[in-house]
Amino acid sequence: MITIPAYLQKNDCIGIVCPAGYMSMEKAQASINTFQQWGYQIKIGKTLGSDSENYFSGTDKERLTDFQKMLDDDEIKAIYCARGGYGVGRIIEQIDFKKFKDNPKWIIGFSDITILHAHIYSNYKIASLHAPMASAFNNNEFENKYVASLKNALGGNKIKYQCKPNEFNKKGEAVAELVGGNLSLLAHITGTSSDIKTKGKILFLEDVGEYLYNIDRMLYQLKRSGKLHKLAGLIIGGFTELKDTERPFGKTVYEIIHDIVKEYNYPVSFGFPVSHSKENYALKIGVGYKLKVGKNKVILEE
């Protein structure tokens, strides 16, 4: 049975941290302003806008300490990860979730934050929120419907998303808990304490900046480890900024995915708006959804 953290009320506090890659305060300011306009209080961790001089927002110890402090702070009702990148896998085993188990709060983010989502779901059966991060608010994008979906999710509004059909879709319906996130990270955590059991679940996948052959390799890893065999449904989001080798791989990314999953009978939706681009709806990990892949449209709703 999944535990859903309390939805946020006006004046609730959101803690903002960077548990992986570095982000300047300037690039996060629009998100901070927007959260405040939505009626929330903000507490900023030491890792946002830190004085780090390398890729990470701080040493492993500094990032761990900052996240742990937010996790244990009773005033904080949600932890917003301002950026992904790389780094959560280096500290996930050291995070103490004892207090969090008794007093769950929303953990928000995507990309490298996929590890946190998977770990929390697999080990504690607590819902979290795969959603746009701080850069999505910049250049006046805080007004778009994808950022607005984060506001709606935090406030407890029921979710209903629609998108256009795709030629590779497999029609059908599924009702199940939703799991997933970034393909690279899901492949990375296979066999670890953060690994997810996908049987009977609706799985969603997205990625950015990968070589086509590596997408193929990671999907075969999921397939060989049984992650794709007995799904209730599959949602394929955006695969953006992809790269190819000098000698072409010979297939588009959706052709690659279609060939790997075409033997299965569950519904599959390609081109769903969850991605590293602007099109990135907020999705509640672990929460039950209904997926309907029809001839004229795809609907995902709570």
So which residues are the catalytic ones?
111, 206, 276
Q: What residue type is 174 in one-letter code?
A: A
DSSP-derived 3-state class of residue 138 = coil
Q: How far apart are CA 183 and CA 114, in angstroms?
A: 9
DSSP 21: B
Tokens for 173, please give them.
Answer: 């319906």
Q: What residue type is 104 in one-letter code?
A: P
> For the chain, how long is the longest CA-to-CA vector?
56
CB 250 within 8 A of CB 219: no
Enclosing H/E stretch for 84: none
Q: How far apart are CA 103 and CA 165, in angstroms?
A: 40
- What stretches of the chain adopt beta strand conformation (E)? 13-17, 41-44, 76-81, 106-109, 128-130, 160-163, 172-182, 202-208, 233-240, 268-270, 283-285, 288-293, 298-301
DSSP-derived 3-state class of residue 103 = coil
From residue 28, alpha-carbon distances to 84, 103, 119 in Å are 13, 27, 26
